[in-house]
Structure 1
Amino acid sequence: MWSCVNEYKERQRREHPATLFTFSHSTLLYHTFWVGFQCLPSQHSEMWPLMVLLRTYAPYITLPVAGVIGFIGYNIEKRFHTPPPSRPSIEDQRNERLLKEMVEDGGGSLPPLSERKFVPKTIFEKNISPSLAKDD
């Protein structure tokens, strides 16, 4: 790379003989950076404008590309994925468990509906405190 810098210095001296061309550290780094790209083989030098274009417009290029890739991936996954096995809801499982417990404990012998022990006779018996409840 330093040979490219030296060639660049010589070319500048030839093109501008009247001026004394001196390099500070910052200009040397700047020219080394650009000369390094200029010293690449000619087959790669045609690619740099494309890279500059991609670097300049990267925010405008990456969003649509990511959107298209995401859309394609979403549709592929939707087509090939297998749905998870359906399970009964928690409420249904609880009801089934309670029914099984009632059957096992002899819950099959429920009192007849004519007795109506679950329905209060008056409104005052609906929300009665345990201390006032009558023990039958």
Structure 2
Amino acid sequence: NIEYGPSLLASRSKRSLWGLRSQIECTMPHIWPLLHFGDYGCYCGKGGSGIPVDALDTCCQTHDYCYDAAMADKACTAYLDNPYTYGYHQTCDKSTKTVTCSNDACQMFICECDKKAAMCFSQAKFIPAHNHYNQELCSK
């Protein structure tokens, strides 16, 4: 098991995006998350609009909506202005490719959003033609 928490995050970045990256690497060990999901379809990467182009893009849309819900949650509203920059603690079991979240209520919410996204990514097909997708093709 590999643990990602404040000590590791402090040496790199106390960011939820690091947590998402770690969760993806736990569930999909041979993937480079930024390369594969950083600019994919209409929702993976910065921003997001229109209709998702496929199941993988739908995973990103769902993740975006989950973060929106975190920002509106009572546990988070007092100190959370951006879930992408909020760190949390997680443990990866590489033998089962599962992640366990252990945090305060807000961190748990965000960690669970990332966990669901990582599991969704692991079950969705990556279509190379949707990588570096032209955002102008995403219907508004």
TM-score, structure 1 as length reference: 0.22
Select the structure that is richer in strand: 2
Which gives a bigger RCO, structure 1 or 2 (Cα 8 Å, sep 6+)? 2
Select the structure that is richer in helix: 1
TM-score, structure 2 as length reference: 0.22
Q: Higher Cα Rg: structure 1 or 2?
A: 1
